[in-house]
Amino acid sequence: RLGTLGFLTDPTLPGNGNLGMLDQQLALEWVRDNIGFFGGDAEAVTLAGQSAGAFSACLHMLAPKSRAMLQALVMESGACVALPLQEARTRTETFAAGLGCRPGPGRRSPSNGSSEGADDGGLVACLTRLSLEVLIPESSERGREMYHYWAPALDGDLFLPASPATLLDPSVTPPLAPASPLNVLLGCNRDEGSVFVASTGLGGAGGTDAAYASWVRTGAMEYGQGLPPLS
């Protein structure tokens, strides 16, 4: 599951923001349990990903349950990206508010095309009453406003026990950090960023120094959410 279907974050949801990652983890379990029937080796599994796929692959390298099923990793044009849990919840609430759903009592506005009034089930219950035809366009609009609007969350337990910065620190030891080594092939695809230029408005006449500086400032605010404070 992707977008709002994979990374909606709410305390009432199993997975609390990481349903998409848990889907992938379940696929890894299937490979581990069944690869032998196809002539494969469950002790020689390589996970490869490009761009957003590389983000996922990197997080599986750090997630204890996933790491135990992997022996090698390929990451192309991507690294570990995860949101602090509160930031992920704030983004979910902002998304839901655009559709008339609120935390708590979970009221949905009739202005969204619904004849229903109040919903006692909360924010998630309110959203589940909306069709995909309503949810997906709103989810995509949020993605246009902020790159990586939907991303895995630091749930601290079920999937990711701590931030990538913490888990990649050489001083961190098991059980928080995996004990076994992992072979990693890491690289970047040339000119991949070109495909994103159109969505930034920096192409053609819009490609001014001022526009670029503004875009970098916005991006820095987003990416800074996952970085440790500078000393």
Q: How far apart are CA 93 and CA 99, in angstroms?
A: 10
pLDDT digits 0-9 by tens, 41-63 = 999 999 999 988 999 999 999 99
- Residue 13 pLDDT more than 60? yes
Q: Considering the chain, what percentage of its residues have pLDDT values greater than 70?
A: 77
| pLDDT for 48 | 96
Across the beta sheet with 183-187, what order do the strands follow?
A: 46-50, 72-76, 183-187
Q: Specify the range with the lowest mean pLDDT, choosing from 31-35, 124-128, 155-159.
A: 155-159
Q: How far apart are CA 78 and CA 184, in angstroms?
A: 13
| pLDDT for 216 | 72
Residues 6+ apart with CB under 8 A from 212: 202
Q: How far apart are CA 144 and CA 138, in angstroms?
A: 10
pLDDT digits 0-9 by tens, 153-212 = 998 878 988 888 888 887 776 666 566 788 999 999 887 777 766 666 666 665 677 777
Q: What angle do CA 47, 58, 50 make, to 5 degrees?
A: 65
| pLDDT for 112 | 43
Domain range list for the chain: 3-83+150-198, 85-145, 199-224
